Amino acid sequence: MVDKVFRIEYFITSVALTFAIWVHGAEDKAPVAFEPTADQTAAIDQISADSLQGHLSFLASDLLEGRDTPSRGLDLAAEYIAAQFRRAGLEPVGDDGYFQTANWQLAEPNAPSFAFELRSGEDRIPLGKDQVSLSGLKAMDLTSKPSFKVDFRNTEALTTDQIEGKVVMTECPDPERVGTDRRPTTLFAFNQFLTRMRDLKPALVVNISRDSKDASGLDGQRLIDPENANGLRAALAANRLDIPIIKVHDSKFAEIFDSLPIGASPLDFSVHLDEPTLRPVKIRNVAGLLRGSDPTLKNTYVLLTAHYDHIGIRPSAAEDRIYNGANDDGSGTVTVIEVASALAKLKQRPSRSLVFLTFFGEEKGLLGSRYYARHPLVPIAKTVADVNLEQVGRTDSSEGPQVAAASMTGIDFSTVGNVFQAAGKAEGIRVYKHPRNSDAYFARSDNQALADLGVPAHTLTVSFDYADYHGLSDHWDKIDYANMAKVNRMTARALLMIAEDPAEPKWDETNPKTATYRNARRKGESQ
């Protein structure tokens, strides 16, 4: 890859801080200058740690039950975000006020039809759905299937003749429940086991759990997009394997399992589950517009985005069972709210229009951003940049403290990265390229949906990883609000720099990683 060469010079005047940015390799090599007005400085200074804490302590509270997509908690979060946009005076820009509504379907396991029985000689042991964990939608109808006990770490010697069409019994530790020092090796071994099962083709895998309180029941929900012609088929295929895996949480069954040697077993299994049920659901992106003031540039748009969903509730947890998702991505969501509220106070609106947008379903596969990309609320050809926000609240990164530092995915893919580096210097934030994650994580957040359409789109983050990422303890009281406020002020400043610049951000022509995005941009502009 050919590295871009940036030359950034800063001029300090007695009136304000002025940035001049030369971008070598960009089409427009003229300097881009930004001198914040007193009005803009006052608006940026409205951003406060206390306000951020107030928003996040609600959005990441137990009341919202982890903001799963779809859920009551997600709906409450959407209403809260819309209320804050309304309070700030943003224009509603959705198809239903501030909401952009997707009318989808939810496929769920047919729980009343579930039946599970194992037989040992004349003994029959039925197990209810409160004694198992099953994630998936695939219908099953197995009758008196013979079984085979295996050591999940030692499957190489097994043959298809031994396993195909039978029920495999094993005991795989839950990678999420082992110590952090054992987690990588446990996860690797588990994935190796699953790969081996794909080759051997058992009818079912029964995994033993020693914790009878850990059962999550039938929790294999899948969202069905009606625009996907293979919607239900795709949902069924979303399982990691065609082979269903049932975790059994029953002490009597564990005793029987322990008594059996490795190899063919005298037990047989019968399992039944009907085809999944479907019900309609409404899920919503939330969008507000701060209309620009320039007669021409107001018809172009800068997006500030974040996903407001998280991963919901762990039904099996005995005490704390809610994944509150304060940092992921409550922090990004409240940044959108806070920056929108601050810039809405401007007496003189920015030249370009600003769109503040929060997405549903990122945790389910970038669903909300990809829905927006198919149904944009403002023209994609007139959208000059998207700044997406992920995990901007925690400074206790797994790599060490990240105070006064932030990284951007694909930072050298476009001139947006230069803008943030300049804005960061003004606010005391070092914006840098992470040597491993800046490029690797580019496609792992909601910016990707916009980049695929040619929009220079990046994700800003403070900590790529931290101790309770996707954990039950990602709580609002672990956020570094003072640092987060600085990141917010930097973000507001960078948005103004893009919004006031007559030249649009550009993909780097010299970087081969941007070729697809540059071609998409040219295609969009020609239509």
Residues 23 and 415 sit within 8 Å (Cβ to Cβ): yes
Q: At CA 98, angle to CA 93 and CA 102, rounded to 5? A: 95
Six-digit token string for 296? 């021409």
The CA–CA distances, whole Å, from 460 to 95, 379, 421 equal 28, 23, 11
Q: Which residue has the tokens 């929060």?
A: 358
- Reported in sequence order, the residue ranges of 123-194 that DSSP labels E, i.e. its strands, are 123-127, 132-134, 140-149, 167-170
Residues 449 and 366 sit within 8 Å (Cβ to Cβ): yes
Six-digit token string for 166? 């039978």
pLDDT recorded at residue 233: 61
Does 161 sit behind a cis peptide bond, omega within 30 degrees of 0 on the bond before it?
Answer: no
pLDDT recorded at residue 316: 62
Does 70 sit behind a cis peptide bond, omega within 30 degrees of 0 on the bond before it?
Answer: yes
The torsion angles phi and psi of 148, rounded to 5 degrees, stand at: -145, 125
pLDDT recorded at residue 21: 35
pLDDT tens for the chain, 527 residues: list them: 333 322 233 333 333 333 333 333 333 333 356 889 999 999 999 999 999 999 999 999 999 999 999 999 999 999 999 999 999 999 999 999 999 999 999 999 999 999 999 998 888 999 998 899 987 788 999 999 999 999 999 999 999 999 999 999 999 988 777 776 787 888 899 889 999 999 999 999 999 998 767 788 888 788 999 888 666 666 555 544 578 899 999 988 999 999 999 999 999 999 999 999 999 999 999 999 999 999 999 999 999 999 999 999 987 655 788 999 999 999 999 999 999 999 999 999 999 999 999 999 999 999 999 999 999 999 999 999 999 999 999 999 999 999 999 999 999 999 999 999 999 999 999 999 999 999 999 999 999 999 999 999 999 999 999 999 999 999 999 999 999 999 999 999 999 999 999 999 999 999 999 999 999 999 988 87
pLDDT recorded at residue 461: 99
pLDDT recorded at residue 3: 34
The CA–CA distances, whole Å, from 426 to 32, 431, 486 equal 15, 11, 10
Q: Angle of helix 481-500 relative to helix 49-59, nearest 10 degrees?
A: 100
**The CA-based dihedral angle spanning residues 435, 9, 402, 354, taken in that order and rounded to the nearest 10 degrees:** -100
pTM of the model: 0.85
Question: What domains can be seen in the chain, in order of their start residue?
Answer: 36-104+282-526 (3.40.630.10), 110-275 (3.50.30.30)
400 C-beta neighbours (distance < 10 Å), count: 10
Reported as a single tens digit per residue, the pLDDT across 8-38 is 333 333 333 333 333 333 333 333 568 899 9
Buried b or exposed e, range 18-39, using 16+ CB within 10 angstroms: ebebebebbeeeeebebebeee
pLDDT recorded at residue 6: 28
